[in-house]
Structure 1
């Protein structure tokens, strides 16, 4: 087999292969397939399996010849890629196929290849890692939450107005502007704690200053995008009857029953505050992981220089564009509106970065022999089974979503290991961040 390789232009991964080869026994392969066809095809005037070969040849010779030539060309193409040590990024396209002379076939194939990524020197990377900084105010706020979880209620003096943190027991009934009712429009003996934001702001605000026995009406418009879509931007009026107003009785920090409920058996208030500090750190963990993952990705993307296959980018762009168009359609009540220029530019950038980081991850996985942690994945699957199938593993295994869930868990597990490997080998500077800083950064980076 003779292969002439035309290398890509600068900034491209597209190779052109001009291949000439002499197929072995191609005439016999064509003849064999025609004989097989004679036993299968049905032609009017002949019994099944009894069609004369010359009739088959007249009817199917060209088609059969093309099929066999295609098979030979595909195999020659595969062998040419191996011979030239090329890994295709996508299916190649074939041009100038010459098969008039079956003893010597030729074709031209254009193929985009995978980039050659050099071994990563992770120890040369400089990387930041955010760690939680919990101040005393945040600890005190968490302790206050513990107290609220364990609060008891005491009736206020009749006539006393409802204030922040009070519990108001109400009956209510709501109707839309046209007088119609809706799901969840009424309730009796319904408790509302002022300040807990469990109701829409206009509804809760109307309860401030009310007293036992009072009745009042409140009108407002359900917000756009309200959970129950049929109520979105609809006007409604609620009639509210206040049946009781209670004030909260918070347990003292050193209350033995309170500490026991939280699992604090020794150490008293100091241990309680240590528990609160740990809880604050755990609450920040997911946010910190998101930031640290992005820090790793950004450093890897900036440090590695190679060409990303255009075919991969285009495929990813299509996925992102479809997702964005669906979101547009959902937010505009089914109306289809074109994506803005800014959105399209952002999609281009996202697609490029996703494809590039995926190739970098593959290289790190290969370099450090990273594979899915089967034990960790099994534990996670067991938790999901318990959570959604009440521990019925047989039903869980038969779930059609299980293969996809398993693949996603494996992917996340490998990425987690990759990031840990990068932090393990890179030069890392740890930076403490408190909750407020992270919230501000989150709005700036992830919104």
Structure 2
């Protein structure tokens, strides 16, 4: 077997791998000898089938296996010996593959971009501020107020009062299309909060200004994407009777409210809210510190980047941003999106930092545990209520999805590893300053 270099420019590499006919034949023979004791054939006892017959019947299929094993083995030996790590899956082509015949040598062309040599970083040269925000009384009181509003009750307004946005109207209604009442379009004593957008678009707005005891005809059009196909896009009339108009009343801030949320009393609920707020502040502060770390790392190291990785990342960035600007376009039924120089610059930063963090993690033996992966899958599965099991099965069968879940965990663990060796100073600020720091992340 021979491996000859054909290209060595920058990070680009090219080789030809030659597997001789004799080597292939020896591998086929080895496989036949290995399988012979278990093979049965009419007219022969198990394990006694002549080698010539085995070769005639199984030789062609085993030749393909032998080729693949030989080429895979040559590639592995090459990477072990050279120390190269390909940036992406190597491009492998068999020379004259369609015309190849048994008895000929196999020649394969292999090309790839090698990962660059990545310089080591000195974590002690990194200086960071760890923002610390305490949950003050005003923040806790504001969170309590929001909690009380979300747990609001509704009380009858004065007779004759017109319903406003935010009010609850209790209604009976019957819906019809082309004069025919339809199934599922009737209800009695239905409590509807105006402005909640829980009904068909345009329905709630027509009940603003209604009074208790009033009858109204609400005319709407079902959306084209409505779940019931026989109603999608159809115009409908709902005959409504308003039985009550109720105004929202926030729940009282007392021990009874606290117990609804699992706390012993109001003081305990305040403590829980303070802990939750500080956990949120800590998460936001970590995002700010992580950005500061990445900015410093980006300025500390420079090395050649594999063009294919930069090109792929720039394309992905351009595609994602285009869809954010054109949310009405679903799927990928659109013209090609050409990355701009700005996209390419951002792609270079991402690739550089990605390779650097991967190398730091590799050298530090940073790994993602099974427990961490399970927790990540559980977190994602909660976004699909009722379909958690199907999501688990999907992840188990999809290596790409597993990598998508593993990558951010790995990155965060590498960041923690670097931060542990950096010079970190705690800096106390208030929540408004933290908010400005978070908003600044989106401006970069």
Deviations 1:367-403 (A, max 9, x none): 322112344445666788999899xxxx969952352
The corresponding residue for 2:416 is 420
**Does the 8 Å CA contact 2:195/2:205 hold for their aligned counterparts?**
no
**Partner Cα separation in structure 2 for residue 281 and residue 229 of structure 1:** 48
Q: How does 1:76-95 map to 2 (within 5 A)?
A: 76=74, 78-89=76-87, 90-93=89-92
Q: Paired residue for 2:333?
A: 336
- What's the counterpart of residue 45 of structure 2? none
What's the CA shift for 1:168?
Answer: 1.8
1:14 equivalent in structure 2:
12
Question: Which stretch of the first structure deviates more once superposed, 422-431 or 436-445?
Answer: 436-445
Matches within 5 A, 1:182-197: 185-194=185-194
2:149 is matched with: 148
C-alpha distance 386-327 of structure 1, shift in aligned 2 (>3 A): closer
TM-aligned CA distance change 1:208 to 1:108, over 3 Å? closer
CA distance in 2, matches of 1:143, 1:221: 40
Deviation of the 1:365 alpha carbon: 1.6
CA distance in 1, matches of 2:320, 2:246: 48
- In 2, Cα distance between the equivalents of 1:19 and 1:65? 17
The answer to whether residue 393 in structure 2 is matched with residue 400 in structure 1 is: yes
Closer, same or farther in 2 for the Cα pair 1:423/1:226, shift >3 Å? Answer: farther
Structure 2 unmatched ranges of 5 or more: 40-47
Q: 1:348 and 1:231, CA in 2 relative to 1: closer, same or farther beyond 3 A? A: farther
Please name the residue that 1:305 is paired with: 302
Contact 1:133-1:432 within 8 A present in 2 as well: yes
- Where 1:400 maps in the other structure, the secondary structure is helix
Partners of 2:173 and 2:187 within 8 A in 1: yes
* Residues 66, 208 of structure 1: alpha-carbon distance in 2 compared, 3 angstrom cutoff: closer
SS of structure 2 residue aligned to 1:117: coil
Q: Deviations over 1:231-250 (max 9, x none)?
A: 88876554432111223444
Which residue pairs with 2:125 in the alignment? 124
For 2:168, the equivalent position in structure 1 comes to: 167
| In structure 2, distance between residues paired with 1:155 and 1:189 | 14
CA spacing shift, 1:107–1:320, aligned 2, 3 Å: same
Write out aligned runs for 1:369-384 (5 A). Answer: 369-377=365-373
**Residue in structure 2 matched with residue 43 of structure 1 by the alignment:** none
Gaps of at least 5 residues in structure 1 are: 41-48
Deviations 1:87-144 (A, max 9, x none): 33332556989x9xx9x99987544212211223233234566665767665444222
1:367 to 1:243, Cα distance in 2 relative to 1, 3 A: same
Distance 1:355 1:18 in 2: 29
**1:171-250 mapped onto 2 (5 Å cutoff):** 171-174=172-175, 185-194=185-194, 198-199=198-199, 202-219=202-219, 237-250=237-250
1:261-304 CA-to-partner distances (Å, cap 9, x unmatched) read 34454674xx5544444444556676666666555555544544
- Give me the TM-score of the superposition, normalised by structure 1: 0.65
Q: TM-score, normalised by structure 2?
A: 0.65
How far off its partner does 1:212 sit? 0.8
CA RMSD after TM alignment: 5.9
Q: Relative to 1, partners in 2 of residues 1:168 and 1:277: Cα closer, same or farther, differing over 3 Å?
A: farther
The 5 Å alignment of 1:282-293 reads 282=279
